Amino acid sequence: MKLKVKDMDIATGGVLVAIINRKDADLMDFHTLDRIKLKSGKYTETVVLDIAESDKAVPKGQIGLFEEVLSSLKAKSGKELEILPARKPLSLEYIKKKLDGKKLNKKEINQIVWDIVHNKLDLVELAYFVSACYSNELDMEETTILTKAMASHGDILNTRKYPVMDKHCVGGVAGNRTTMIIVPIIAAAGLTIPKTSSRSITSPAGTADTMEILASVSIGLKKMGAIVKKIGGCIVWGGALNLAPADDKIIRVEKPLAIDARSNLLASVMAKKASVSATHLLVDIPAGKGSKIPENRKALRLKRDFEHLARKLSMKIKVIITDGKQPIGNGIGPALEARDVLYVLLNDMREPLDLRKKALKMAGLMLEMGGKARKGEGLKKARYILESGQAYYKMIEIIKSQGKKVVDPDKIKIGDVFYDYKARKSGMIKYISNEAVSKVARVAGAPKDIGAGVFIHKHVGDRVKKGEVIFTIYTHNEINLKFAKDVFFKSDVIVI
């Protein structure tokens, strides 16, 4: 059967979708979510079918195509397409196999990743794969295969350098913007560090969100390679690149489900590192009450898994377990965190000392890994690079190369509507909840409202007097501030 194309002028963001009228569907015995094959000259594509119940959406004799399908078939409105039934993707059998708790082999995992990358699975089917990996975790052999498949089904950045340094934090700690301090230190030491970072999934800001305050992060692979070759480092958004694209699609499903399977976490991190040809990797696992990894036992298991997977990928790795019981830095939210980073790089008296200390420790370890400092002397060299201004000037180079927006911390715009929370009694701060602070910052508007968030004036271990300001909530409107205050007072944010 042949139907004429109707341009729906809608994009799905990935999944290949077509719509036909109910009368045509009944005639061909097609049903919602069936697969159909579309042929347009030399181009063929298999898509997921949706059905229009009225002629208003898609008239009888026409087929509505979403932007991704139009592009794939090089089709325009009015062109006739041949419509044929198609089988469901092979990977659905393998996803069901994993749901049943059975082990997947290399062929099956590769097929699943291929189907994800080429948009052959709809969101429901992809969600089942994510759920299967969560309820029946992949073992290390399966995880290794998944990692290699995710890295191979995408572009690879080849810097032709050795060593190529990288770092990763598994997250769960508010603030903790160490990457933006470490990268310029490492690059200033003469090492190569092509850093791809993510946007926020459930936090008030990801590294890419914060870096975007200072410079563009949506950089193509060719330009990224040129920047790294010239300057030694970059901080770009991984989502703008075709590096391990299956990972980005999986993350989009994990976000609303609030699922973060251990095997998927490992594959996600290591596939991204393999795709930038990293040879040396430092992994930070913050652990403790209120963090993503609350128990030290789980942190140690994850550490061993990272080390095992790195060996399989011929990657040198060092995994550190750090204190994740409280936020790192003062600012929580894109603009507030960017300001903190610049204060540290400028050695400004307003710098958050905990962020500075952690970033220097990690940078020192990476300098030792990369052969730029002897064992035990990395911290000293990292401190010298920071205090001499070399790290700041390297960061300015990176910012300019990516498209400078702002480099003066005092010109970064923070929300002009705010609320100061003052201590109800004198004493010592015993606990600040990562989860609660992050939630307040998000309700205030972060990361979408880049100037929104929470500023922490006092940290765990600090003594406070009654009436002293501990937190300031920033936003740009009174409504968000009201919601943020409601969340703040209903949450166990702080214990004095």
- Alpha carbon 172 to chain centroid, angstroms: 12
Segment holding 365, helix H or strand E: helix 353-369
DSSP conformation class of 203: S
Phi, psi of 289 (to 5 degrees): -55, 130
d(CA 324, CA 61): 60
Structure tokens at 360: 């220097």
CB 20 within 8 A of CB 63: yes
CB atoms within 10 A of CB 50: 19
Segment holding 434, helix H or strand E: helix 434-444
260 as an active site residue: the answer is yes
DSSP 3-state assignment of 8?
A: coil
DSSP 3-state assignment of 298?
A: helix
Candidate list 24, 122, 260, 284, residue with the active-site label: 260
Return the residue matching tokens 């997977």.
309
Helices H / strands E in the chain, number of each = 18, 19
d(CA 86, CA 68): 18
Segment holding 419, helix H or strand E: strand 417-422
DSSP 3-state assignment of 301?
A: helix
CB 136 within 8 A of CB 396: no
Phi, psi of 69 (to 5 degrees): -75, -40
- Please report the sign of the dihedral spanned by the C-alpha atoms of residue 486, residue 489, residue 493, residue 494: positive
Half-sphere exposure of 302 (CA within 13 A, CB side): 29
Q: Which residues contact 56 (CB under 8 A, 6 or more apart)?
A: none
* Residue count of the chain: 496
CB 459 within 8 A of CB 351: no
**Which residues are the active-site residues?**
260
